[in-house]
Structure 1
Amino acid sequence: MRTKVAIFGSEEFCQRAMHFTEQRSEIIVDLYPYSVPSEAPALLKKLLPCDAILFSGSLPYVASTAVLASIPVPAVYLKQDETEITTTLLSISLHQSLDLEKVSIDVRDRNVLENVFDDIKAGEKRPLIYQLEEDYELEDLVQFHATAYTENPDNIAITSVHAVYDRLSALGIPVHKMISVKSSFLKTIDRVCQEALFQKSETSKIAAGILDDSNLKTEEKDSYKRLSQLLQAHCIHSEEGILFYTTLGAIQTAVHLSEFHQLVKLVSGQLAFGSGRTLTSAKENAMSALRYMQTEQNSGLYLLDEKKELHSLLHSEGSTVELRVIEPVLTEIAEKTALSPAVLSKLATFGQSQQSTQFTANDLASHLGVSRRTAERTIKKLLTSAYANTVGEEMTYRQGRPRAVYELNFPVY
């Protein structure tokens, strides 16, 4: 299977990418050259269908983060490593005398440069160094090298930015570009191709959705037809509700559509998804996800995968909820407290996320998304089995009863 990779970089980098991959028949490269890294986000909006994206460095990648969030293919950047810096210094030294103290250089990570100097035992000799930050200004970088040359006409500039090379060359300042090393490039493009193949295998997995139509209003009844189209699903009416048989990839595509979000709001709390190795397991997982949402009174949109991990489809940054317990400690807690795996998973993430080990019932209620009374019942179960301790009280008002302060007493990491 051939993998199409979109390459974003300077004109020269794109041409080198073509040269590096000309013997790799399994890779197709689609070139998107730019003049400066800040042009990458605009170019991404012209992206043609591809399997993966490769940026020439961290600067265009970071500049494109917001746009990449809506592009469902893996994207990586070529990291500047010791091999690239060493190769560049060696190339220069083969053609002219190279004194590190008469060099100005810009790099993406100063620590990588320092590693090279340590390896070659450069001693105290150091060039003038400019570390490229995400928000660097092109003019500032040009001025950095130009000033170094003005103060010392023997200075040699080495730059990681092709646009800076062009500007310095036009000014008559001796300058060299960082050399893109073939071995590093091929390792990176092989990695992104592997990620693309893995993602394809993931998105082709069987998935099922279930829509509980028992509580839908009359005007909402036909929403399933459009949902079925957006999910590219085969739709079946059953006793459990309306079933959608589709793939993970189709669900991920639908999640990025505004119309899909409008329909989800219309049937709030009545739709859930599951994935699995078979249609039966995918359906069972979808039903488990729906029961979780209805039991926890959670109106989000969730998918339960074959590992029994619950994922929010609307908030990708949210933590995963375990709907089964496999850790021995948590299994023991579940047996002694009769708390559900979902609650235990949330308790573990609660313990990890708190800045202080101490908490109140209000703190726990806020994290679990439940009432204070429900949080207090959970705490009582933990206290009874010694999985939580009462460590004090706090009085936030002059009137009223003080609030108990607790600590968890089980491993959360």
Structure 2
Amino acid sequence: MNTKIALIGSKDFNAYVQASIAPRLNGIDLIPYIYSDPGEADKLIPTITPCDAVLFSGGLPYFFSKEACTALTVPVLYLEQDETALITSLFHILHHHEIKPEHVSIDLMDTAFVDHIMTDLHLKNPPQYVMDYKSSLPHEFSISEYATFHQRLFQDGKTRFALTSIHSVYDRLDQLNIPCMRMIDPAKTLMRTINEARSQALLSKRKAAAIAAVRIVVQEKHTENSSLQKLVHLMEGILQKKDEKSAYTIYSNRGSIENLLGTAEFHSFFQLDQPVLAGFGYGHTAAQAEENAETALSFASKYDAESCAFIVNEDKELSGPYPDKNKKQQLKYNHPDMLSLAKQLKLSPANLSKIMQFYKNRSFRDFTAAELSDYMQISRRSAERILKKLVDNGSARITGEEMTYSQGRPRAVYELSFPMY
């Protein structure tokens, strides 16, 4: 399966990448998300359909979207500007327009890039008119300020050309008939960053699929309580009773657990009438995961709280206690955005919420009706009806078939295609 990367950038940037870079990529699908102003890039985050990574065209749209990106469960990267982009752009201006660097106004991420190329190239007449936006992000940034910077220098006869890192500034200068150019993003840098996004996506999937063991100590009278069973179900795990009184082990995977940690359901489990202690362990093997879970449980038992949990990962790193105070709130069924999307997809808000949580818990994008029905605790036929409805309205698609190695027809494999984050 190809790695799917959401590419957030301007119209021209996305057009360039699709025409010049995408045909040279193997095993990577770039899905364009286009903004007209980098300050509005954050509004694209809720529209992103399931993907494996998100890549911004530069630091500017990324910094405007940084807070919104906390809702994403996939790796997030941005194309970093460096000295190579600046040198390539200045050489292009010199070669094609015969304009020297000292007659060019420049806006870029960091003025330090200019200092570096001055040192490396021993420029006698380096660029004099440079404005960066590193210090103004994110709250003091203004597109008009940068456009005016270039415009005044040109009109005062101090410069003959403008080099901008901001596509919307280029559009304004072009409308004013001021000679200008967008900063060149070298193809090699683009290819390297896209491949880095793919590597991080694959690494994230491997980590999410790592074995996890959970050691829980809870009062005996709660063992049949639906709270424990519900926790096991949300983890997509298997519950095993240990010999010790009130001690249980749940086997699951890292991705399912980490997606559960910030939810209201996880928080409520630690608000039972009796104390609940838990240790989460990740490992490359089941034995390592169990050992780390025991270690985490020992920290929970020593912590000054009646109910809490700790995590020890495969590198023996400890985190906790959980649940923390900054827990994510469960998306309410009456949230306007949820109601609007549910109406569009022709699903009940409750079912839509469950499907979204199911999908976020998974390490891979594809799934079967049987897996969905098991998670939602509905019949296979009901799950198939929901999926047919999603396929019919274009919100899901069938990506293949899974052989069951038994009698009966192959099972369809699905992928969702509606906004998930």
- Provide the aligned C-alpha RMSD in A: 2.3
Provide the rounded CA distance (Å) in 2 between the counterparts of 1:181 and 1:54. Answer: 16
1:9 deviation in Å? 0.8
Are the structure 2 counterparts of residues 123 and 301 from structure 1 closer, same or farther at C-alpha, using a change threshold of 3 Å? farther
1:293 deviation in Å? 1.0
* Matching residue of 1:225: 229
Higher RCO (C-alpha under 8 Å, 6+ residues apart) = 2
Deviations, residues 1-28 of structure 1 (Å, cap 9, x unaligned) = 5211111111111122222121222111
Are the structure 2 counterparts of residues 268 and 250 from structure 1 closer, same or farther at C-alpha, using a change threshold of 3 Å? farther
Percent of residue pairs bearing the same amino acid type: 31
Provide the rounded CA distance (Å) in 1 between the counterparts of 2:294 and 2:171. Answer: 60
* 2:177 aligns with one of 172, 183, 187: 172
- Range moving further from structure 2, 98-107 or 243-252: 98-107
* Matching residue of 2:382: none
* Matching residue of 1:352: none
Provide the rounded CA distance (Å) in 2 between the counterparts of 1:250 and 1:160. Answer: 40
SS in 2 for 1:84: helix
Query: Does 1:125 find its partner at 2:126?
Result: yes
* Matching residue of 2:258: 252
Provide the rounded CA distance (Å) in 1 between the counterparts of 2:40 and 2:4. Answer: 22
Are the structure 2 counterparts of residues 278 and 153 from structure 1 closer, same or farther at C-alpha, using a change threshold of 3 Å? closer
Provide the rounded CA distance (Å) in 1 between the counterparts of 2:120 and 2:186. Answer: 19
- For the 8 Å contact 1:208–1:246, the answer to whether it is kept is yes
1:315 deviation in Å? 5.8
Provide the rounded CA distance (Å) in 2 between the counterparts of 1:23 and 1:125. Answer: 36
Amino acid at match of 2:218: D
Amino acid at match of 1:248: R
Amino acid at match of 2:287: T
Gaps of 5+ in 1: 318-413
Provide the rounded CA distance (Å) in 2 between the counterparts of 1:34 and 1:214. Answer: 54
- For the 8 Å contact 2:102–2:125, the answer to whether it is kept is no
1:271 deviation in Å? 2.2
* Matching residue of 2:60: 59
* Matching residue of 1:306: 314
- For the 8 Å contact 2:90–2:101, the answer to whether it is kept is no
| Residues 380-391 of structure 1: pairs in structure 2 closer than 5 A | none
Query: Does 1:2 find its partner at 2:2?
Result: yes
Deviations, residues 161-200 of structure 1 (Å, cap 9, x unaligned) = 0000011111221111101110001111111211111111
1:259 deviation in Å? 2.5
* Matching residue of 1:137: 142
Provide the rounded CA distance (Å) in 2 between the counterparts of 1:307 and 1:153. Answer: 57
* Matching residue of 2:284: 277
Bigger radius of gyration, 1 or 2? 1
SS in 1 for 2:49: coil
| Residues 342-381 of structure 1: pairs in structure 2 closer than 5 A | none
* Matching residue of 1:84: 85
- For the 8 Å contact 1:213–1:221, the answer to whether it is kept is no
Provide the rounded CA distance (Å) in 2 between the counterparts of 1:189 and 1:178. Answer: 18
Deviations, residues 252-295 of structure 1 (Å, cap 9, x unaligned) = 11124233223234476522211123323322321221121112
1:33 deviation in Å? 1.2
- For the 8 Å contact 2:241–2:248, the answer to whether it is kept is yes
* Matching residue of 1:41: 42
- Range moving further from structure 2, 134-143 or 157-166: 134-143
Are the structure 2 counterparts of residues 6 and 89 from structure 1 closer, same or farther at C-alpha, using a change threshold of 3 Å? same
Provide the rounded CA distance (Å) in 2 between the counterparts of 1:14 and 1:52. Answer: 16
1:56 deviation in Å? 0.9
- Give the 4+ runs in structure 1 shifted more than 4 A: 215-218, 313-317
Provide the rounded CA distance (Å) in 2 between the counterparts of 1:154 and 1:200. Answer: 50
Are the structure 2 counterparts of residues 290 and 167 from structure 1 closer, same or farther at C-alpha, using a change threshold of 3 Å? same
SS in 2 for 1:294: helix
Amino acid at match of 2:256: A
Provide the rounded CA distance (Å) in 1 between the counterparts of 2:176 and 2:16. Answer: 25
TM-score (norm 1): 0.71
Are the structure 2 counterparts of residues 75 and 2 from structure 1 closer, same or farther at C-alpha, using a change threshold of 3 Å? same
SS in 2 for 1:22: helix
Provide the rounded CA distance (Å) in 2 between the counterparts of 1:41 and 1:268. Answer: 41
- For the 8 Å contact 2:299–2:310, the answer to whether it is kept is no
Provide the rounded CA distance (Å) in 1 between the counterparts of 2:189 and 2:101. Answer: 24
- For the 8 Å contact 1:107–1:113, the answer to whether it is kept is no
Provide the rounded CA distance (Å) in 2 between the counterparts of 1:36 and 1:167. Answer: 12
| Residues 170-209 of structure 1: pairs in structure 2 closer than 5 A | 170-209=175-214
1:58 deviation in Å? 0.9
Amino acid at match of 1:108: M
* Matching residue of 1:157: 162
Query: Does 1:210 find its partner at 2:211?
Result: no
| Residues 323-338 of structure 1: pairs in structure 2 closer than 5 A | none
SS in 1 for 2:23: coil
Provide the rounded CA distance (Å) in 2 between the counterparts of 1:187 and 1:305. Answer: 30
Provide the rounded CA distance (Å) in 2 between the counterparts of 1:71 and 1:189. Answer: 18
Query: Does 1:147 find its partner at 2:148?
Result: no
* Matching residue of 1:384: none
Amino acid at match of 1:28: D
* Matching residue of 1:94: 95
Are the structure 2 counterparts of residues 108 and 292 from structure 1 closer, same or farther at C-alpha, using a change threshold of 3 Å? same
- For the 8 Å contact 1:8–1:32, the answer to whether it is kept is yes
Provide the rounded CA distance (Å) in 1 between the counterparts of 2:231 and 2:42. Answer: 31
Deviations, residues 92-114 of structure 1 (Å, cap 9, x unaligned) = 11222213332211010111122
Amino acid at match of 1:144: F
Give the count of matched residue pairs. 316
Are the structure 2 counterparts of residues 315 and 111 from structure 1 closer, same or farther at C-alpha, using a change threshold of 3 Å? farther
* Matching residue of 1:242: 248
SS in 2 for 1:270: strand
Amino acid at match of 1:223: S
